[in-house]
Amino acid sequence: MGQRVLFIGLNYAPEHTGIAPYTSGMAQSLAAAGWDVGVVTGLPHYPQWQVHAGYERGHQNRDIINGVPVERVPHPVPGNAGLARRLGMEIMFGLRAARARWNNPDAVVVVSPALFASVIVRLRAKYHGIPVLAWVQDIYTAGLTETGSAGGFATRAMRAVEGRFLRSCEGMVVIHDRFAQYVQRVLGVDPARVHTVRNWTHIGPSTHMDPATLRERFGWPMEDIIVLHTGNMGAKQDLGNVAAAAARADQSGAPVRFVLVGGGRQRPLLEELAAHAPRFEVLPSVDDETYSALLGAADVLLVNERPGLTEMCVPSKLTSYFTAGRPVLAAVEAQSPSAFEVASADAGMRVPPGDPRALLAGALTLHGQWVESGGTRHSGGARYVREVLSRDAATKAFIAALNAVRTKGHAPTRTTTIATLNN
């Protein structure tokens, strides 16, 4: 068996949106490449913030998923995922993950968000001389700053924690060059320790569901322009903007229907808005096959972000959007990673965030350009996936990052100490 790597992160399969598909996919790819892979994770709960049916909260669960052994540790899952409750969940997960069976890994990969859990895990790894690779999917404190979800003192304190944690790790992986620039410039991380590994698409085109049949199933008239947003419904998505654009479509008679698919903290409010808006619809999360089919049945695929977001995230939905080959409308800041990705892929157009009038006009314009060009304009997404966002390229780059940190462990007696701790 090859070198042993342990992934520790809150999210893993069977969650099929957000971070989980990438952690699950990379663990499986490394196992296929000959690595001895283990996973310590939490209870599946995202994006609904409810524990999935069949997973008990009172004891540990062990399973093998696609050839990878997975250990789940219990932790609270707050229905209202505010900052304080989320920190409580992270800390409890981190404490229990640090006490789980690690089986003497050559390196530990900690997945963030779950910053405070990662800090706790780092302490155990450092004690035993195990090198740590931090895999940063979202920059924690950039998100706090841009969403205003914490006060100035709390944000500064968390930035100090995040910076010290990342600087202490033997290496880190970020998902975009913009993230790499931020952690170096703002958090003081040594550029030599930072590796950019792009997220890949984990959804393939649907081959079993006819788009026209699917539209009929959901009651979408063929003459309607379906603008589809998928994934989390939280503060940073600012989906009230989409509801307002749908109201404008209804008032003006524009043949545009805005559809949201997924879950999250804002979903109940959005459902209330949809109950009184003929051109606004909220659907629950769906399985991967139906998800792929929905992307292919839509006319425009939407990324909507809160005004002011320029650093904090690269929406994972973009990789799936590009694979679907439909035009992408990005209601985002011009300096955001999302705007950069859509422009780089030549896959759509950007409109200002927080502007319902611009959102509706953009949907009409983008669809018109797509139809007039016979589907050739804004069609670079599939090419971009092949050339930039492939899973093979991500796996090779991740292995290079792991190999760079594996040599930095420094405690030759860690086998004995870990075995003692786990007995």
Amino acid, res. 143 = G
> Which helix or strand (DSSP H or E) is residue 364 part of?
helix 356-372
**pLDDT, tens only, 340-372:** 999 999 999 999 999 999 999 999 999 999 999
Q: Which residues of 237-275 are buried (b: 16+ CB within 10 A; e: fewer)?
A: bbbbbbbbbbbbbeeeebebbbbbbbbbbbbeebeebbe
Q: Are residues 194 and 273 in the same domain?
A: no
SS3 category, 345: helix
Per-residue confidence (pLDDT) for residue 261, from 0 to 100: 96
d(CA 171, CA 191): 10
Q: Are residues 145 and 284 in the same domain?
A: no
Q: Which residue has the tokens 């050339």?
A: 387
d(CA 123, CA 347): 43
74 and 60 Cβ atoms separated by less than 8 Å? yes
d(CA 47, CA 177): 26
d(CA 190, CA 177): 14
Helix residue spans in 100-189 (DSSP H): 115-127, 140-147, 152-168, 177-185
Q: How many CB atoms lie within 10 A of CB 355?
A: 16
Longest CA–CA span in the chain (Å) reads: 72
Bridge partners, 302 (sequence order): 329
Q: Are residues 293 and 148 in the same domain?
A: no
In a domain, 254, yes or no: yes
Per-residue confidence (pLDDT) for residue 49, from 0 to 100: 85
Please list, in sequence order, all residues whose beta carbon lies within 8 angstroms of the beta carbon of residue 365, skipping any fewer than 6 positions away. 349
338 and 330 Cβ atoms separated by less than 8 Å? yes
C-alpha separations of 275 from 247, 269, 388 in Å: 12, 10, 41
In a domain, 206, yes or no: no
256: nearest Cα among 329, 355, 330, 364: 364
Q: In which residue ranges of the chain is pLDDT below 50? A: 410-423
Per-residue confidence (pLDDT) for residue 358, from 0 to 100: 98
Q: Are residues 12 and 111 in the same domain?
A: yes
Per-residue confidence (pLDDT) for residue 416, from 0 to 100: 33
d(CA 284, CA 368): 29
Bridge partners, 172 (sequence order): 134, 194
- Note if the bond before 352 is cis, omega within 30 degrees: no
Question: How many domains does the chain contain in total?
Answer: 2
In a domain, 69, yes or no: yes
pTM above 0.85, yes or no: no
Q: Which residue has the tokens 């509801």?
A: 243
Per-residue confidence (pLDDT) for residue 414, from 0 to 100: 41
Range of the domain at 380: 211-384
Q: Are residues 138 and 263 in the same domain?
A: no
Q: Which two tokens stand for residue 72?
A: 């789940």
DSSP-derived secondary structure letter, 76: -
Q: Are residues 358 and 417 in the same domain?
A: no
In a domain, 205, yes or no: no
Q: How many CB atoms lie within 10 A of CB 50?
A: 13
Q: Are residues 157 and 236 in the same domain?
A: no
Q: Are residues 408 and 287 in the same domain?
A: no
Calculate ∠ Cα 132-137-141, nearest 5°: 95
Per-residue confidence (pLDDT) for residue 419, from 0 to 100: 33
SS3 category, 131: coil
d(CA 331, CA 314): 13
13 and 65 Cβ atoms separated by less than 8 Å? yes
* Pairing mode of beta strands 328-331, 194-196: unpaired
* Pairing mode of beta strands 328-331, 300-304: parallel
Q: How many CB atoms lie within 10 A of CB 137?
A: 22
Q: Are residues 229 and 189 in the same domain?
A: no
In a domain, 161, yes or no: yes
Q: What is the CATH number of the domain that holds 86?
A: 3.40.50.2000
Q: Are residues 118 and 238 in the same domain?
A: no
* Pairing mode of beta strands 348-351, 300-304: unpaired
266: nearest Cα among 234, 228, 231, 305: 234
Per-residue confidence (pLDDT) for residue 413, from 0 to 100: 39
In a domain, 130, yes or no: yes
In a domain, 154, yes or no: yes
Q: Are residues 296 and 195 in the same domain?
A: no
Q: Are residues 23 and 136 in the same domain?
A: yes
Q: For residue 46, count CB atoms less than 10 angstroms from its CB and return exposed for 0-12, middle for 13-18, buried for 19 or more.
A: buried
Q: How big, in percent rounded to 5, are the helix, strand and coil portions of the chain?
A: 45, 15, 40
In a domain, 318, yes or no: yes
